[in-house]
Structure 1
Amino acid sequence: MAPASTAPLATAAAPAPAAKPDPIPVERPVRRKRDNRPWLLLLLVVLVLGLGVGAATILWGPQQVASRLGIAEQRVPLGIAITREPDWRMIAGGSQLFAVSGRIWNPTDVEQAVPDIRAELKDGKGKTVYAWTITRPVARLGPGQQIGFDGAAVDVPDSSSNISVSFAGTDEKADR
């Protein structure tokens, strides 16, 4: 038997590490810090409006707030009626005067504010051809009280055949 060689065994050379390629520079967008001030301002405005509507509802009641905002029909608890036939007459200067008289009453147990009166002249088809505002005779009307009113207009259209009166800002009407 031949003597074993005492020479060191050749070790397999490990492959040299591969050279890493240079990294490709990547441009990343610069992230800016968000400005939340407009959203915070909007939130603050909405919060203040909400608190204002809530406070008004507590103070005046939901029906009154809705009518003031124009989202509900404003109802006046007063009555209104024309009490005499409207009067047409010629006045000095050749103008025609149209006069209307009526009354307002308070059927409730509490004092009520009296709004101005809206008078409308209508043609035979019910179309409004002339309208004007009659100033309220008093600012407030006590429980069970009534008061008369008079209104007049000059040179109204000849096509007028009917008149209605209502409280300004409402749909309640009295026709003649």
Structure 2
Amino acid sequence: MFEDPAAAPEYDPFAPQPPFKPRRNPARRWTAAAFVAGISMLLGTGAILYSGAPGIAAQLGLGIGGEAETVLRFTDKAVELKTMPNGSEALVVSGKVVNPTGDKTHVPDIRVELRDGTDQLVYSWRIAPEARAIGPKAALDFTGAKIDPPPNAKVVELSFANEIGG
């Protein structure tokens, strides 16, 4: 078709188009994305455990999330087992939270723990106080109930729940 090889066309349909760009490796991009996502998840989990996942850290046994450090005290504690009209029982826990200091103080949730005769935790729940702050030398009433408490619960313990984890 072409008689003179020097007169052949300059166009080659299989030649790379200028400027030539090398093929990208999608596996490298996905690996980098997975690495960034993993680091982000680790940082997020650490932030949640450090700054406020109620109960999670204590359930994982990480040492954070015990009792809250507070100057507040419990007084007039009462535990009563009442029979409801429908035949079920209700364990009613009540009392007062007292602020003995001269400053306004934050009131954390109240943790109620039911324990058996061997001091093993049987059940626990939180009571949200009526107010989140208590004035100097003031008292705040609280009441909480559990319908049909575990029959092997023998001891009731009250404490202030840590805002971080318990």
1:106 alignment partner in structure 2: 99
Q: How many residues align?
A: 107
Structure 1: gaps spanning 5 or more residues:
1-65, 171-176
The one-letter amino acid of 1:80's match is F
CA distance in 2, matches of 1:125, 1:156: 17
1:63 alignment partner in structure 2: none
Q: How does 1:40-51 map to 2 (within 5 A)?
A: none
CA drift of 1:82 comes to: 5.1
Out of 80, 88, 92, the position equivalent to 1:87 is 80
1:77 alignment partner in structure 2: 71
CA drift of 1:133 comes to: 0.7
CA drift of 1:92 comes to: 2.5
CA distance in 1, matches of 2:157, 2:51: 23
1:27 alignment partner in structure 2: none
Q: Structure 1 length as normaliser, TM-score? A: 0.53
SS of residue in 2 equivalent to 1:147: strand
CA distance in 2, matches of 1:136, 1:76: 15
CA distance in 1, matches of 2:140, 2:129: 10
Q: Identity percentage over the alignment? A: 32
1:6 alignment partner in structure 2: none
CA distance in 1, matches of 2:128, 2:140: 13
CA distance in 2, matches of 1:127, 1:82: 25
Q: How does 1:17-56 map to 2 (within 5 A)?
A: none
Bigger CA radius of gyration: 1
Relative contact order (alpha carbons < 8 A, sep ≥ 6): 1 or 2 greater? 2
CA distance in 1, matches of 2:113, 2:80: 14
The one-letter amino acid of 2:96's match is R
SS of residue in 2 equivalent to 1:152: strand
CA 88–117 in structure 1, closer or farther in 2 if over 3 Å, else same: same
1:136 alignment partner in structure 2: 129
CA drift of 1:81 comes to: 3.8
CA drift of 1:165 comes to: 0.8
CA 76–67 in structure 1, closer or farther in 2 if over 3 Å, else same: farther
CA distance in 2, matches of 1:82, 1:160: 21
CA distance in 1, matches of 2:114, 2:125: 9
CA 123–81 in structure 1, closer or farther in 2 if over 3 Å, else same: farther
CA distance in 1, matches of 2:137, 2:51: 25
Structure 2: gaps spanning 5 or more residues:
1-49, 58-62
CA distance in 1, matches of 2:97, 2:110: 10
Out of 145, 148, 158, the position equivalent to 2:138 is 145
- Match status 1:162 vs 2:155: yes
